[in-house]
Structure 1
Amino acid sequence: MKAIQLVRPTVVELRDLPQPKPAAGEVLLKVTAAGLCHTDISIQHEETSLFPAGLVLGHEIAGIVDSVGEGVTGWAPGDAAIVHPCWSCGACPECVAGRQNACRRTTGRLASPPTPGVSVNGGMAEYVAVPARTLIAADGLDPAVAAVLPDAALVPYHSIHATRDLLVPGSTLVIIGLGGLGNLGVQIARALTAARIVAIDGKPAALQAVEGSVDLALPADAADLEQRILDFTGGQGAQVVLDFVGIDATLRLAAGVVARYGAIRVPGLGEGTLPFEARHAAQYLPWGASITRPYSGTYQDLVELVALARQQRIKPIVRRYPFEDAMQAFEDLAAGKIVGRAVLQM
């Protein structure tokens, strides 16, 4: 089969690989679409052996069941499905409570559960074998739309759903970064909440893409950015700030505009830092504000996202590439030419 493989650090190529066979408890998917995101670009450019050589990339996967392994029930050839990206144990206290993204048995305290395309073979291939318990039905969905739900939509959905008690009428949500995740974050917030939305990005095309869906759109390089957000909220700040970038500047902006007892959630992996001061006149965070590093989302989150997509309450912006043009898609994404999400179609 054809697959996009990390041959060795910094070398990602389209290669011929053996087709996998489903083990007990697994399903073999014939991949119909695979999303491409900045995590894949990071893997491509990582110079160390952080990611295993020989890894097949692709953590956003949609496909059709080709065959099932021993002991699998509930799935049959021809079924359309997407793959939840947290390959958890399904039995630990976190999994039983529905927090598969915090599985205790599969990894240690500072690591995430096995993830296709990151730590185990993923879906940028003609076929992929996955645990049957990670599948969610996706019949009736455009495969390119279905493929981006397990990450580009799941990550913002998880954070927005977790802060819905703060996003009441009259509240404000600030979204920093309108790439594949941030754009869908705007759509999800519109579908789930009555909050006013402030959107920030450095690219005019990204701001234009959310025009009409937000209450205030601001360029990231605006000199008075923080003050304009505070003025918009009457000086009180935003109840929730989602930072899909995660660099020093965006973290400081988030801390500078969050309301007392508001929430900052940082899915962005930009390696920034935000000082924490436990004193009365703290420079950064106001009283009661919290900051969280959320990871992915739960199985239930993804089930609910599929329902939103079926109802067309969210409409991911996708740029489609034939699978044989995968390396061009990598180049375009790295060069900042993609609005929404790049998707490889088989």
Structure 2
Amino acid sequence: MRAVRHTAYHTFPTLKEVEKPTPGPGEVLLKVAGAGLCHSDVAIFHEFDEGLNPQMDPEFTLGHENSGWVEELGPGVDGLEIGSAHLVYGPVGCGHCRACTRGQDTYCENATEMPYAGIGLGRDGGVAEYVVVPARNLIPLGDADPIKAAPLSDAGLTPYHAIKLALPHLNGGGKYALVVGLGGLGLVGVQILKALTGATIIATDMKEEAMAEAEKLGAITVPGGEGQVERIREITGGKGVDAAFDFVGVGATVQTAMASAARQSRVTIVGIGNLSPYEWAFLTTPYEAELVNTYWGTVEELHEVVDMYKAGQITPQVTTYSLDEALDAYQLLVEGKIAGRAVVVPHGEK
């Protein structure tokens, strides 16, 4: 079969022929319906240095946002119908520590002993014709479109987890939420906030087309640049936002979120920008404002995300590419020219 492989650090991926995988005990072979392309993939092959994270050393197939149809069951797996559509929970922990037993493989207590960080993150992922995944990582989609659902396994789950933890700050009337960065995660984040809260949603980005999409989803938009924070605080009547979500995660965007925050608010860093630090100071920080980061989410929460998708509460903005076009799509992602989420469709759209 064909697959897009991460072959070396600081090296663009390669589309190559590899052996079709076979599911082992407790595993399932999926015929890939869709595989979302993420900026995390770009970081792996474009920015990471050898030795930074040995769990993601090449070579492996990229793709940690996957959906597909059950093709073959491994030994010991039953209860799954051949041909049924599923979304894939990407994190894979040890399976027996406290975090893993509550479905939070992202915070596996034995993560450093695992040979990979997740599906498409050291373990072969879904930018391929087929992918093998643990049966427990499958979330049934029923009749819902698996291609449009593919990005939900990260671009849906990651903002959902961050927003769900911040809900106590958004309960009640007169609340304000801020979304910084309107890429694939940020636009889904706006939809989740709209569905789960009554807060006024403020969204900010440098791209006019991204802000136009956020406005269609019900957000008030503020362009990045000079006067950005002042405009955000003006919308809130001067008090600042009750919860902010930074989907970029560089020093400048964290600074924007913190400068826009109200007292006793919560600022969550969701994006893994890591390009520059944020400098904290006591007298320039709102009192009792929480600054936290989150990573992905739980398998239970992904079931809830799929429920929202089936109910029409969230719809990812998707542009599809064939497997032959996958490398072109990654290049567009490197250049920052992808709106929403690029999804590779190895077997064509149905």
Q: TM-score, normalised by structure 1?
A: 0.93
1:122 corresponds to: 125
- Equivalent of 1:266 in 269, 292, 296: 269
Specify whether residues 145 and 27 from structure 1 end up closer, same or farther in structure 2 by C-alpha distance, changes over 3 A only. Answer: same
2:257 corresponds to: 254
Shift of 1:55: 1.2
Shift of 1:8: 1.7
Q: In the aligned structure 1, how far is the partner of 2:334 from the partner of 2:97?
A: 38
Shift of 1:130: 0.9
Q: In the aligned structure 2, how far is the partner of 1:287 from the partner of 1:256?
A: 12
Shift of 1:98: 4.1
- Equivalent of 1:173 in 177, 187, 193: 177
Q: In the aligned structure 1, how far is the partner of 2:246 from the partner of 2:339?
A: 18
Residue 77 of structure 2 corresponds to residue 72 of structure 1: yes
- Report the AA paired with residue 95 of structure 2: G
Write out the 4+ residue segments of structure 1 that deviate beyond 4 Å after TM superposition. none
- Report the AA paired with residue 91 of structure 2: C
Q: TM-score, normalised by structure 2?
A: 0.92
Which aligned pairs between 1:166-315 and structure 2 lie closer than 5 A?
166-168=169-171, 169-221=173-225, 223-271=226-274, 272-277=276-281, 279=282, 282-283=283-284, 285-315=285-315
Shift of 1:105: 2.5
SS in 2 for 1:164: helix
SS in 1 for 2:87: strand
SS in 1 for 2:167: coil
1:14 corresponds to: 15
SS in 2 for 1:11: coil
SS in 2 for 1:152: coil
Shift of 1:113: 7.5
SS in 1 for 2:43: helix
The percent identity for this pair of structures is: 38
Shift of 1:120: 1.2
Shift of 1:215: 4.1
Unaligned runs of 5+ in 1: none
Residue 102 of structure 2 corresponds to residue 82 of structure 1: no
Unaligned runs of 5+ in 2: none
Shift of 1:213: 2.6
Report how many aligned residue pairs link the two structures. 339
1:2 corresponds to: 2
- Equivalent of 1:96 in 82, 94, 101: 101
Q: In the aligned structure 2, how far is the partner of 1:212 from the partner of 1:140?
A: 26
2:137 corresponds to: 134
User: Is the deviation greater in 47-56 or in 323-332?
Assistant: 47-56
Instruction: Kindly provide the CA deviation profile for residues 29-69 of structure 1, in whole angstroms up to 9, marking residues without a partner as x.
Output: 11111001111122231362243221100000101111111
- Report the AA paired with residue 294 of structure 2: P
Conserved 8 A contact 2:90-2:120: no
Conserved 8 A contact 1:22-1:67: yes
Specify whether residues 102 and 198 from structure 1 end up closer, same or farther in structure 2 by C-alpha distance, changes over 3 A only. Answer: same
Q: In the aligned structure 2, how far is the partner of 1:218 from the partner of 1:188?
A: 19
Conserved 8 A contact 1:40-1:58: yes
Conserved 8 A contact 2:179-2:244: yes
User: Is the deviation greater in 47-56 or in 329-338?
Assistant: 47-56
Q: In the aligned structure 2, how far is the partner of 1:114 from the partner of 1:288?
A: 34
Q: In the aligned structure 1, how far is the partner of 2:102 from the partner of 2:328?
A: 42
Specify whether residues 107 and 206 from structure 1 end up closer, same or farther in structure 2 by C-alpha distance, changes over 3 A only. Answer: same
Pairwise CA RMSD of aligned residues?
1.7
Q: In the aligned structure 1, how far is the partner of 2:201 from the partner of 2:154?
A: 21
